Structures are given as structure tokens and as C-alpha cells.
Amino acid sequence: MSSKRKRILILGAGFGGLTAANLLRKNLPSSSEPVEHQITITDRKDYFMMGLVNLWILNGTRTLDDSKIALNRLENKGIRFLNGEVTAIDAVSKTVTIRGSSTLRLEYDYLVIALGSEFALEQVKGFLENGGFNLYDAEQVPKLREKILSLKRGRIAVCITSIPYKCPPAPYEASLLINDILVKNGTRDSIDIDIYTPTPIALPVAGAKVSQDVINLLNDSHINFHPLHKIKTVSNVKELEFENGKRVNHDLLIGIPPHKVPEVIRNSGLIKQGQNWINVDKFSLKTEYENVFAIGDVTEIKVNENTAIPKAGVFAEAQAKVVSQQIVDDIENDRGKRSSPRFDGKGFCFMEVGNKKAGYVAADFYNEQGPATLLEPPSEESYKKKIDFERSKLDEWLFL
Ligand SMILES: Cc1cc2nc3c(=O)[nH]c(=O)nc-3n(C[C@H](O)[C@H](O)[C@H](O)COP(=O)(O)OP(=O)(O)OC[C@H]3O[C@@H](n4cnc5c(N)ncnc54)[C@H](O)[C@@H]3O)c2cc1C
């Protein structure tokens, strides 16, 4: 075991960061042993909430306030939590600057970057000024729900503004849940639901078959699907204009925002010209800098010319497992028990369809014959597994 105390710094306390922090704490010597390695995690937010909870706030099974879990619970586990904004990363001098109640310049021996993605709705002309809702901003979802409930007739437009965006099935899940809300509210017959996407099929990352399965689910609920519709502008008379020249009216606009890499990453030198996300080794998640790893939504891992690993929590989590094991192995290298963990490109998700049912999507992106995906038909069992998924992760990361 290394006799020198190591400092491991994790940026971002989301899916990837929380997994890494917990595994490192579990697998590195604890305070009862002679050397306690320091594990620090930082986030601008002081709470964690899973993205999928946005959909439960939308359909009224959750409230925003009940869903936020304080990140300072990590301290009970021997993980140092710093609440603040990461303002600079210098991978050459191995320092990170964090602005919180005071400004700290931290040195690290190992750095795990798990800062996710940021939204860029300002890129869609007129969206913010003309009352569009961002489905991915949890703070906006309670108001969005009220709007849906108060709408008596008209058109709801769900608009995927660009790709990549996180959790590719989420806009379709949201549309199916909105269908459910309207049916229960007695307004479905007088309200249309339309989904617009710039892509030619519903889920390019999942391929043609799964995309068709999704469209069949939408058809069953009379939700209109419009491929090859990239939004250009939102006007102040509730008109959407698309790049293909079409114009349509709407009464309520729900957007899946453009995603971009966090500003601090753009300024850190971790992104080369022509790249939009951090490039890492597809198996080890190493960046080109010594002892610097990047995981989750902040990365782009291409599996072929057209497909990259989707931005989803399960992949961030799987990558965090691989990275934390490498760090543990490196620190304990004189025990000679390196396990050479590799990210295997496998993941899954539960696609909620309303009426307390969910489909199950399984994916293998490193499959030798090309990415393989499958959608199992919706069932109550998969819905229950989705609920358990959130509970078990929260327990693992913040409670037990
Ligand atoms: C509606 C919706 C439904 C979803 N459903 C699923 C699902 O069913 N399954 C699934 O696997 N995934 C789902 N996702 C996607 C999932 O939430 C993300 O892919 C996942 O959170 C990515 O993990 P991450 O660790 O890379 O980043 P995040 O979890 O986004 O964490 C990044 C953290 O970094 C912090 N941060 C960023 N910049 C700074 C800075 N400069 N200073 C300090 N802190 C900073 C952020 O506050 C954030 O907490 C869903 C997402 C949404 C929006």
C-alpha cells in the first residue's frame, strides 16, 4: 500500500461523481488505518436529484422539494464535500480552483472530471423570450405541470432542439406521460401532442428497430411524431419555424435544450479544436493528462462514425466504477493486485410510458458487430424496477 497520503478530487456530484466518491471511500484504507487518503467532491449545487425525477414531478407523483437530497450527507461517510463553483482546472500544474464561501486552489494527485453538460437554450432564437419550458430544468417542471393541467384545448409541442442530449428516450417518455395527464384531466380529446426532432428516426443511438417500437408506442397514444424538424425560431405569436421551412402553431412549448460542455472545461485546455466534449480512452476513461479521468456526459466516446455512447446516468456510473478501480489499483500498486478494469459499453434504461408501466431498453455499444439495442415491451414490473433503481442508488450514494 502507498505510504503517502493521496488527494483524490472529484468534480461534479452527479451520477458519475457520487459513484466514484463512494467506491473510492469504500475501497481505499479508512481512518482506522495508518494512511487515510483524502477524497474530496465538489458541486455548485448543495443537493442531488436524479434527472429522471423531472418526469415524476411532471406527472404529479413527486414534488421538487421532496426529491432533493443534501450532499453534505457525504461527510458522514468520510467524503469531503465542497459546495462551490469550479472556475479553473489546470491539468499541468494539477490544481483546481473552486469558488464557494471563499476561493480555494486545490492540488490533487488524481482528478475525476464528472461535470456533466450545460444547457444552451439561448441558441434557439425566441425560445426563452416567448415562454418555452425547459423539460430538463427541474425548477421549471412544477410550473409546466400547472400549465398542462390548465390547458383546455390546443397544441402541445415537444421539441428536441439538437443532439446529443441526455437520456435519449426522455422526450418520448415525457410525451406519453403528458398523454396520461391529459386523459386523467379529461382534456386529451381537445389537445394535440406533437413531437419534433431534427433526427430522421426517433432514437438514432438505439437504431431503426427500437425507434420504430417507440413510434408505435406514440401512435397507440395518438401522439404525432415529426422527424427531420430542427427548430429555428420561436415567434411571439406562438409559431415555431423549422429549418425545413415548415411553420406550426402551438399553445404550449416544451423544449429539450441544446447541450454544451460546461464553460470551465472549455477554458481548461481539455478540449481540442474541433471537439465539443472531452475525448477519453474508450476503455480506461483516461484523458491525455496524467492521472486525469473524465466520465459521463462531459465526454464523447465515439463507437462508430455516427454513434457515441449516449449521455445517460447508467454509463456515467459504469465509467465511474472503472475509474475508481484504476485509482485504487494505482495507489495500492505494491500489493501487485491490478485488475485492469475496462468500460464495456453496456447499459440499460427504463422507458416510462404512463399508467405505471415502463419498457426496458438494453444496449451494448461495444458489440463487435456494431451497437446492439433492444426494447422490451412495457410492463408493470419494469416500472417497479425503475422506482427501485432510484431508491437503491440514493441509498448507496447518500444514505447507507
Ligand atoms: C428528464 C431526464 C430523465 C433522465 N432519465 C435517465 C434514466 O432513466 N436513466 C439514466 O441513466 N439517465 C437518465 N437521465 C440522464 C442522467 O441524468 C445524466 O446522463 C447523468 O446525470 C449524467 O451524469 P454525470 O455524472 O455525467 O453528470 P451530472 O449527473 O449532470 O452531474 C454533473 C454535476 O456537475 C455539477 N457542475 C457542473 N458544472 C459545475 C461547475 N463549474 N462547478 C461546480 N459544479 C458543477 C452539476 O451541478 C452536476 O451536479 C435523465 C436526464 C433527464 C434530464
Q: Which atom of ligand 1 is nearest to the CA of 117?
A: 30
- Cell numbers for 35: 494512511
- Going by pLDDT thresholds of 50, 70 and 90, the confidence category of residue 29 is confident
Residue 309 contacts residue 277 (beta carbons within 8 Å): no
Task: Quote the ligand 1 centre to 116 CA distance (angstroms).
Answer: 5
Looking at residue 31, its pLDDT comes to 61
Q: Which atom of ligand 1 is nearest to the CA of 313?
A: 11
Task: Quote the ligand 1 centre to 153 CA distance (angstroms).
Answer: 34
- Going by pLDDT thresholds of 50, 70 and 90, the confidence category of residue 36 is confident
DSSP 308: B
Looking at residue 4, its pLDDT comes to 85
The residue contributing the CA closest to ligand 1 atom 19 is 312
Q: Which atom of ligand 1 is nearest to the CA of 314?
A: 11
- Going by pLDDT thresholds of 50, 70 and 90, the confidence category of residue 339 is confident
User: 295: closest CA among 7, 22, 10, 8?
Assistant: 10
Task: Quote the ligand 1 centre to 248 CA distance (angstroms).
Answer: 32
Prior bond of 164 cis (ω within 30°) = yes
Looking at residue 333, its pLDDT comes to 76
The residue contributing the CA closest to ligand 1 atom 38 is 115
The residue contributing the CA closest to ligand 1 atom 17 is 51
User: 88: closest CA among 254, 296, 263, 238?
Assistant: 263
Q: Are strands 247-249 and 278-279 parallel, antiparallel or unpaired?
A: unpaired
pLDDT single digits (tens) 249-308: 999 999 999 999 999 999 999 998 899 999 999 999 999 999 999 999 999 999 998 899
The residues that bridge with 271 in the sheet, in sequence order, are: none
Q: Are strands 191-196 and 224-226 parallel, antiparallel or unpaired?
A: parallel
Mean pLDDT of 28-36: 72
Domain annotation for the chain: domains and CATH numbers: 7-117+261-343 (3.50.50.60), 121-259 (3.50.50.60)
DSSP structure string for 247-261: EEE-SEEEEE--EE-
Where do the H-state alpha helices sit in the chain? 15-27, 53-58, 64-67, 141-150, 170-185, 207-220, 263-266, 313-331, 380-394
- Going by pLDDT thresholds of 50, 70 and 90, the confidence category of residue 151 is very high
pLDDT at 1 over 60: no
pLDDT single digits (tens) 174-212: 999 999 999 999 999 999 999 999 999 999 999 999 999
Mean pLDDT of 43-54: 98
- Cell numbers for 355: 399508467
Q: Distance (Å, rounded) from C-alpha 372 to C-alpha 303?
A: 12
Task: Quote the ligand 1 centre to 142 CA distance (angstroms).
Answer: 19
pLDDT single digits (tens) 116-141: 999 999 999 999 999 999 999 999 99
- Going by pLDDT thresholds of 50, 70 and 90, the confidence category of residue 35 is confident
What percent of the chain stands above pLDDT 90?
Answer: 92
Handedness of CA 365, 368, 369, 372 (dihedral sign): negative
Mean pLDDT of 369-385: 95
CA 152 distance to own-chain centroid: 33
The residues that bridge with 374 in the sheet, in sequence order, are: 362
Task: Quote the ligand 1 centre to 336 CA distance (angstroms).
Answer: 35
Residue 221 contacts residue 210 (beta carbons within 8 Å): no
Residue 257 contacts residue 165 (beta carbons within 8 Å): yes
Looking at residue 368, its pLDDT comes to 93
Task: Quote the ligand 1 centre to 159 CA distance (angstroms).
Answer: 20
pLDDT single digits (tens) 159-181: 999 999 999 999 999 999 999 99
Looking at residue 129, its pLDDT comes to 95
Average pLDDT score over the chain? 95
For residue 126, what is the enclosing H or E element? none
- Going by pLDDT thresholds of 50, 70 and 90, the confidence category of residue 340 is confident
User: 298: closest CA among 288, 309, 306, 289?
Assistant: 309
Looking at residue 336, its pLDDT comes to 59
Q: Ligand 1: residues whose CB is within 6 Å?
A: 12-17, 42-45, 51-52, 54-55, 85-86, 114-116, 136, 166-167, 170, 262, 264, 296-298, 311-314, 316, 349-350
Please choose from 50, 64, 385 the residue to mutate so as to test ligand 1's pocket, defined by most ligand atoms within 8 A of CB.
50
Looking at residue 335, its pLDDT comes to 55
pLDDT single digits (tens) 225-250: 999 999 999 999 999 999 999 999 99
CA distances from 4 to 29, 157, 244, 331 (A): 12, 57, 61, 9
pLDDT single digits (tens) 361-375: 999 999 999 899 999
Looking at residue 334, its pLDDT comes to 56
